Amino acid sequence: MSPAWRAERPDVGAFLASADLARAFTIASFAAVFGASAIRGLAGDVAYATILIGLAVLGGAVLVARRQEFEVLHLAPTTLAVFAAWAGASVLWSTDALLTVAGWAALVVVSILGIVIGHVRDAHQSVRALGDVLRWLLAASLVLEVLSGILWDTPIPFLGIRGDIDELGPVQGLFGSRNDLGVVTVIALLTFLVEWRTRSVSPGTAAGSVILAALLAVLSGSPTIIVVAVTTAVGALALALIRALPPRRRRAAQLSLGGGVIALLALAWAQRSAIAGALDGRSDLSLRTDLWGEILRFSDYRPVAGFGWFGPWAPREAPFSAVNFILGQDHASALNAYLDVLLQLGWAGLLVFLVLCALALARAWLVAGERRSVVHTWAPLTLVALLTVSLFESSVLSGSGLLLLVLCAVRAGQSRSWRERLERRSEATTE
């Protein structure tokens, strides 16, 4: 090998560890996961799975190239690893081992993307990349809805667009359903507002992005978006008040707020029957309460371990086929992430999942309360939105919802990990 050729040979390791590749990987991952419905409609499930697997392999190579920047034990939160391990172990008692392996692989692949993004991009860079992707996807959604509903006056079936914008919705855009579009618009509004406050984009771009997301949120007609938006707004107000307090009073305020939230959750659980009865009279929630009642009944057959991890439902497999047959409906999920985990992984899996979500939210909230930059508020408020929508949808268990959950958990754990605190105490003791 001549010296001249050796000098011209590309350094693969440097390329994999480069900032340019990290940015491209982040944008490609967000685009692939948030654009899943459109990709599947255009190219099929196999093509979409190939894209995700390719990105996961590339992400693994990036982590190997950057291995000196972090420790293996700090790659992911312990609760996330335990949850993934329990989901994988459920293949031993699943009603269909092959489908459980496929569902587990989807869980792991999307989680890898979130882990890689959390380690190769900081909070500001992640928000900026997500903002760019959502801007383009929402703009394309609006354009296609206008073409379908006004100019062409015909649906676009392979994209799931019904062309109802001429009747002011509901519209689906590139996200497959109005509920998925509604969730994305809430996440987009949070992202665009953080971009605006941090001056990551020009004021005109920020204002246009907020208007675009708000318009599509209204046109989506999602029955859950109001609850999610109100809850997220209340969370934003509470976080703003915490950040405005002097440091000496902040801890007491955080403890009081946390205690109040726990008390409200306990009260809601204690009065769950009364709440369900009050909501059952509304047509948009009656369908959900009937479904949830059947899921609770079926979960009693396997209360600890569940029926095995599938992620989105396999309609022909038990117990999903039995639930749909009894109700005379065709559900693809439990329309509640927590009940979906209960049905598939039992109380053991649900407990791990709840701890994962609670720790991620608590850590992200504390980080946002201590650090002055507005960009740190994105993670806790995104988690508030995801955990609220999980009461009405199971989207947080797969796809974009799972990606954001993992990213926020990894980001929060980097600053509030118990392992890092133990290491700092050990170092202080040795010194």
Helix (H), strand (E), coil (C) string for the chain: CCHHHHHHCCCHHHHHCCHHHHHHHHHHHHHHHHCHHHHHHHHCHHHHHHHHHHHHHHHHHHHHHCHHHCCHHHCCCHHHHHHHHHHHHHHHCCCCHHHHHHHHHHHHHHHHHHHHHHHHCCHHHHHHHHHHHHHHHHHHHHHHHHHHHHHCCCCEHHHCECCCHHHCCCCCHHHCCHHHHHHHHHHHHHHHHHHHHHCCCCHHHHHHHHHHHHHHHHHHCCCCHHHHHHHHHHHHHHHHHHHHCCHHHHHHHHHHHHHHHHHHHHHHHHCHHHHHHHHCCCHHHHHHHHHHHHHHHHHCCCCCCCCCCCCCCCCCCCCHHHHHHHHCCCCCCCCCHHHHHHHHHHHHHHHHHHHHHHHHHHHHHHHHHHCCCHHHHHHHHHHHHHHHHCCCCCHHHCHHHHHHHHHHHHHHHHHHCHHHHHHHHHHHHHC
In this structure, the answer to whether residues 12 and 158 fall within a common structural domain is: no
Distance of alpha carbon 383 from alpha carbon 29, whole angstroms: 19
| Domain presence at residue 100 | yes
In this structure, the answer to whether residues 286 and 420 fall within a common structural domain is: yes
Distance of alpha carbon 192 from alpha carbon 199, whole angstroms: 10
Most confident segment among 134-148, 258-272, 316-330, 364-378: 134-148
In this structure, the answer to whether residues 305 and 408 fall within a common structural domain is: yes
Domain final residue, candidates 69, 91, 106: 69
Share of the chain above pLDDT 90, in %: 40
| Domain presence at residue 233 | no
pLDDT at 40 > cutoff 60: yes
Task: Give pLDDT, residue 427.
Answer: 47
Distance of alpha carbon 349 from alpha carbon 299, whole angstroms: 12
| Domain presence at residue 227 | no
| Domain presence at residue 157 | yes
Task: Give pLDDT, residue 12.
Answer: 76
In this structure, the answer to whether residues 381 and 256 fall within a common structural domain is: yes
In this structure, the answer to whether residues 257 and 371 fall within a common structural domain is: yes
In this structure, the answer to whether residues 277 and 325 fall within a common structural domain is: yes
Share of the chain above pLDDT 70, in %: 89
CA distances from 95 to 100, 106, 306, 396 (A): 8, 18, 10, 23
Question: What is the distance of C-alpha 121 from the center of its chain?
Answer: 17
Burial label, 257 (beta-carbon count in 10 A; 0-12, 13-18, 19+): middle
In this structure, the answer to whether residues 273 and 362 fall within a common structural domain is: yes
pLDDT at 416 > cutoff 70: no
| Domain presence at residue 214 | yes
Q: Tell me the one-letter amino acid at 30.
A: F
Which residues constitute the domain of residue 355? 77-120+243-424
- Average pLDDT on 15-38 reads 91
Number of domains in the chain: 3
In this structure, the answer to whether residues 413 and 286 fall within a common structural domain is: yes
Give per-residue pLDDT as tens, 294-337: 899 999 898 898 899 999 988 888 888 888 888 888 888 888 99
Q: Which residues contact 173 (CB under 8 A, 6 or more apart)?
A: 137, 138, 140, 141, 142, 144, 145, 161, 181, 216, 220
| Domain presence at residue 145 | yes
| Domain presence at residue 230 | no
Distance of alpha carbon 294 from alpha carbon 70, whole angstroms: 46
In this structure, the answer to whether residues 304 and 412 fall within a common structural domain is: yes
In this structure, the answer to whether residues 159 and 39 fall within a common structural domain is: no
pLDDT at 421 > cutoff 60: no
| Domain presence at residue 429 | no
pTM of the model: 0.90
Q: Dihedral of CA 341/345/348/349: which sign?
A: negative
In this structure, the answer to whether residues 266 and 168 fall within a common structural domain is: no
Residue linked to tokens 């996807």: 137
Task: Give pLDDT, residue 276.
Answer: 56
Domain final residue, candidates 159, 190, 222: 222
pLDDT band at 187 (very low <50, low <70, confident <90, very high): very high
Q: Which residues contact 314 (CB under 8 A, 6 or more apart)?
A: 96, 99, 320
- Average pLDDT on 199-221 reads 91
In this structure, the answer to whether residues 193 and 167 fall within a common structural domain is: yes
